[in-house]
Amino acid sequence: MKNVIVIILLSISVMVPVLARQSDVDYPEIQSKVRFAPVHIYLDSGNKLLAAYQFELKAAPRQIRIVGVEGGQHKAFEEAPYYDAAALANDRIIIAAFDTGSELPKGRTRIATIHLQIIGDAEPDYQLKLIVAADADANEIPAKISFEKGE
């Protein structure tokens, strides 16, 4: 009888952490509402031509999952930019692109669109940071980065 009790207790002690971990992983899908939305990223380089950019977007943990990245509005940046594939299904991404051509945008232009899975009803707290922007001579230029939430 004692042996049976010991085995049952050991089984419980093994199963509880496993089930807890499982429920922890599945929590967002089961308990939270999930929706998909794009976020458009804009860069304003003023009167300077924009040839290269790099920025980072992140949100609070468990608020978003990045599901895709799209290029920008201008022909110079319409191809999908560089990003780490590990960022997909994550809540943080670094995106960068450049163009060596002569047809470059200036002023405010959409440089990328990030498709997100938003977890929960609360609006994600996005943190957008411009790492670098440069002109055609690869000189750093001042620029202002912003985002707009899409539908």
Partner 1 sequence: MNEKPEHFDEHLDLRVSPEFSADLNTLFKPQFSIPPEIDRIVMDRAHQQLSPKHWRHRILRHISIWRIAAAAAVIIFAFSLNLTQKPGPTTKQSLLVEVRAVDIDGSGRVDILDAFKLARYVESSDRTVKKWDVNGDGLINSNDVDMVAFAAVRLPASVLPAQKTRVQVDKGV
Binding site for partner 1 (CB under 8 A): 3, 6-7, 10, 13-14, 17-18, 21, 51-54, 69, 79-87, 90, 92-98, 100, 131-132, 134, 138, 140
Alpha helices in 55-107 (DSSP H): none
Shortest Cβ 7–partner 1 spacing (Å): 7
Asked if residue 124 lies in contact with residue 99, where contact means CB atoms within 8 angstroms, the answer is: no
Closest-CA residue to 71 (of 91, 96, 90): 96
Minimum CB separation from partner 1 for residue 119, in Å? 19
User: Closer CB to partner 1, residue 3 or residue 47?
Assistant: 3
Q: Which is nearer to partner 1, 30 or 86 (CB)?
A: 86
In whole angstroms, the minimum distance from the beta carbon of 99 to partner 1 comes to 9
Asked if 100 and 49 count as a contact pair (C-beta separation under 8 A), the reply is no
Give the CA radius of gyration of the chain. 22
Smallest separation (angstroms) from partner 1 to the CB of 72: 13
Q: Report the residue number, 84 or 123, with the smaller CB distance to partner 1.
A: 84
DSSP strand pairing (82-83 vs 34-49) = unpaired
CA distance 99 to 8: 65
Closer residue to partner 1 in complex, CB, 21/33: 21
